[in-house]
Amino acid sequence: MPITPFEASQRAREICLAAPIVPVLVVDSVEHARPLAKALVAGGLPALEVTLRTEAALDVIAEMATVDGGIVGAGTLLTPEDVKAAKAAGANFGVSPGATEQILDACEAEGLPLLPGAATASEAMRLLERGYTLMKFFPAEAAGGAKLLGSLASPLPQISFCPTGGVNVKNANDYLSLPNVICAGGSWVAPKEFITKGAWDKIESLAADASKLLT
């Protein structure tokens, strides 16, 4: 069922409020999907962004969608076809590094809550005009980091952000302490070497630590 931009932002906000960190996941094998999702959810991080950067990504989303307590999203949405495929696979939300009219139209038509990307005041204002009040700030560190993002809070108090890109355990609280940030996206909670080795207990421990970060 189609949704409005306001509804898309409200639903995305509810998902992002579930935990201070949204794991950004690059998963090469569907065999890793279920145990990885279970470890992250058990550690207190229920919202999971699976990036569409591997051949297995859609199957990974479908498998993770069956894990109790998980809220699985599709990241790196670049085309309307990506949106349709992610929705069909069972994604509960979408994430895009930027925002185009085609992507916005497709997500609204498919009823897929979207976290659209913005890196400047002008980009954020254009999304706000359309009705989006929650955005992905990307690439966070390269675009100016917490200092730049914090400077947008006063002139654009209506907008909240989920910074992603260069966010790590050392600087996460710099972002999370900002008044216009409700969560952050990070890949450090699921290192590739841990996924490859099946070190699910270590990933759960990293997730537990991340779930206790400042909110």
- Which of the residues are catalytic? 49, 136
CA dist 6 → 2, 76, 111 (Å): 12, 21, 12
DSSP, res 75: E
**Are 32 and 55 a contacting pair, CB within 8 Å?**
no
Tell me the C-alpha distance between 22 and 14, whole Å: 13
Tell me the C-alpha distance between 76 and 92, whole Å: 14
What's the number of CA atoms in the CB half-sphere (13 Å) around residue 164?
27
Tell me the C-alpha distance between 66 and 10, whole Å: 24
Identify the bridge partners of residue 21 per DSSP, sorted by sequence position. Answer: 184
